[in-house]
Structure 1
Amino acid sequence: MKIRSFFLANSLILCSICHCVNALEPAKYQDIPKLRSDVKQFVKQHYLELDNDLKEDVDIFIEVGNLDSRLKLQTCDDFLALTLNTPPHRSGRVTVKAVCTDKKRWTIYIPVNIEIYREALVATRDLTRGSVISKQDLRPMHLNTSKFGIGLVLADQDKSIIGLVLKRPLRAGSPVNTKHLEKPDIIAKGDPVTMQAGSNAFKVAVGGVALDSGHIGERIRVRNKQSKRVVSALVVAPGKVIASY
């Protein structure tokens, strides 16, 4: 009885020692839930730093893709480098590259879905091509901006697009995008224009006829009334162009 008790006691002590040693040993494999958490925090910080305005009127939802539960990555004892493996301006579906920089060295690509909700401008009514944007045509709406890419007009940018012209029809409730807008023409095809030519030291002005419509900063074709020559000219004001010979 005493011998049995002796072996039982020693077995318990040995088990306790082994348990303590195992508890003190570093984890053999990378903590996947923690890795996903680190990736989520990294992505959020990236987009906050990318645009300071995001801190004010934005809701960011980040979903890190599930990793295979059977995945066995050696614990990274050194620095774990995270980089966004997608153009920095993009949101929606992106990929984060995680690299263990110590001697175990491994790399894994983690898919991440990002939704960034902001106040953006949408049309209050159906607008036809050629419509001139007015304040009454716009209203703010909380949108997932990651769906619409570059050019989406935010609510605080309304003044920058009032007076611009639509290049394509826009349905009521549809978001406004700068790629669908252009400056209004200030010279129409057939308009008489004054065409300026020459250098800063010597300039001449001649009459011409616009062969194209155009807005400020746009190049159009102009026929010189005297020589009948057609030249390319830059629209600088209503009825005024600068010729390039």
Structure 2
Amino acid sequence: MKAAKIFSKPNRKQVLALSLMSLACLSQAAPISQVQDAAQLRQIALDFLTLQASGLSNDVQVTVGEVDKRLNLQACDNPNPYLLPGSKPWGKVTLAIRCTAPAPWLVYLQANVQVTADYYVAANALTHGQVISLSDLSKQRGDIAKLPAGVITAPEQAIGKTMQVSMASGGVMRLDALKSPAVVQQGQSVRVISNGPGFQVTTDAIALNNAADGQIAKAKTSSGQTISGVAKNGGIIEIVY
């Protein structure tokens, strides 16, 4: 007669050893989360800033600062770069890169964007109220990041507009120094055109204010009604429904 095998109940030390062995097996089988490559973040920033500034010139140089080495970010499926609200895409900028999956995080990078482009200065002394012509402009080339905001980069931005200030020869031409000519003048007889789905109504009115092309103009019709619309060349106020 064969003797029966007797299984003894494991003691606490054996249970603990088995548990540790199980945890070790699980840890080896579980995937290790990848760390976000810092070089990739800098390249994302470089590409984004280069694209943002490329509309101004094809001569763009971008330098991106180092990623904080203390960060330990999980690799992101789709990093999303963006500029902070109100930031210009040139000069010294702060760029944000956001991740939403698989783990949310947000990192900021410092960068310097140098944009070498054409800009315009006053070819001669300009006076308040003077209407700008092509002969009043002189083209220069340089890093526009070092120039005042709103610098004129194309002649059509200035030609036909009126100086709101006086400027010495060589002064940098800026958008805020110019005023667009009024296409609708106060007291002028204007034509009001109302456009909507499948209809157009035209009526005559008297302008109540001066307005440049694209600005809001007010007018009073013969019936005494006051209307508002967008001023257009030729003394027209357009209303779109």
What's the counterpart of residue 60 of structure 1? 61
What pairs up with 1:84-163 in 2 under 5 angstroms?
Answer: 86-87=83-84, 89-95=88-94, 111-148=110-147, 151-154=150-153, 157-163=154-160
Deviations along 1:143-174, one digit per CA (max 9) or x if unpaired, are 321134764332xx223432233444444323
Q: 1:58-96, CA deviations, whole angstroms, 9 ceiling, x for partnerless residues? A: 36374959x9xxx986999x99xx997844743222346
The aligned residue for residue 237 of structure 2 is 241
Give the letter aligned to residue 201 of structure 2.
K
Pairing 1:175-194 to 2, within 5 Å after superposition: 175-194=172-191
Question: Any conservation in 2 of the 1:44–1:60 contact (CA below 8 Å)?
Answer: no
Normalised to the residue count of structure 1, the TM-score between the two structures is 0.55
Aligned-partner Cα distance in 2 for 1:75–1:204: 65
The TM-score normalised by the length of structure 2 is 0.55
CA contact (8 A) 2:123 2:137 kept: yes
Closer, same or farther: CA 244–127 of 1 in aligned 2, 3 Å? same
Give 1:227's aligned residue. Answer: 223
Q: For 2:209, which of 205, 208, 212 is the aligned residue?
A: 212
Aligned length: 198
CA distance in 1, matches of 2:69, 2:62: 28
Q: Secondary structure of 1:174's match? A: coil
Query: SS of the counterpart of 1:60?
Result: strand
Is 1:117–1:144's contact at 8 Å kept on the other side of the alignment?
yes
Q: Is the 8 A contact 1:211 1:220 kept in 2?
A: yes
In 2, Cα distance between equivalents of 1:145 and 1:214: 31
Q: CA deviation at 1:228?
A: 3.3
- Counterpart contact for 1:151–1:179, Cα < 8 Å: yes
In 2 relative to 1, CA 43–219 (structure 1 residues): closer, same or farther, beyond 3 Å? Answer: closer
Task: Check conservation: 1:122, 1:138, Cα contact below 8 A.
Answer: yes
Q: 1:192 to 1:62 in 2, by over 3 A?
A: same
**Larger % of helix: which?**
1
Percentage of pairs with the same residue: 18
**Residue identity matched to 2:61:** I
Deviation at 1:39, TM superposition (A): 9.0
* Separation of aligned partners in 2, 1:41 and 1:198: 49
State the alpha-carbon separation in 2 of the partners of residues 158 and 111 from structure 1: 33
Take 1:90 and 1:193, find their aligned partners in 2: how far apart are those partners? 41
**1:185/1:72 CA distance change after superposition, 3 Å:** closer
Where do 5+ consecutive residues of structure 1 fail to align?
A: 1-34, 99-106
Q: 1:186 aligns to what SS in structure 2?
A: strand
Q: Give 2:123's aligned amino acid.
A: T
Q: How far off is 1:129 after superposition?
A: 4.0
**Alignment check: 8 A CA contact 1:48 1:55 kept:** no
CA contact (8 A) 1:39 1:64 kept: no
Residues 201, 163 of structure 1: alpha-carbon distance in 2 compared, 3 angstrom cutoff: same
- RMSD between aligned alpha carbons? 4.8
Task: Quickly say closer, same or farther: Cα 1:117–1:140, change in 2 above 3 A.
Answer: same
Q: Retained in 1: the 8 A contact 2:83–2:96?
A: no
**Aligned in 2, Cα 1:39/1:150: closer, same or farther, shift over 3 Å?**
farther
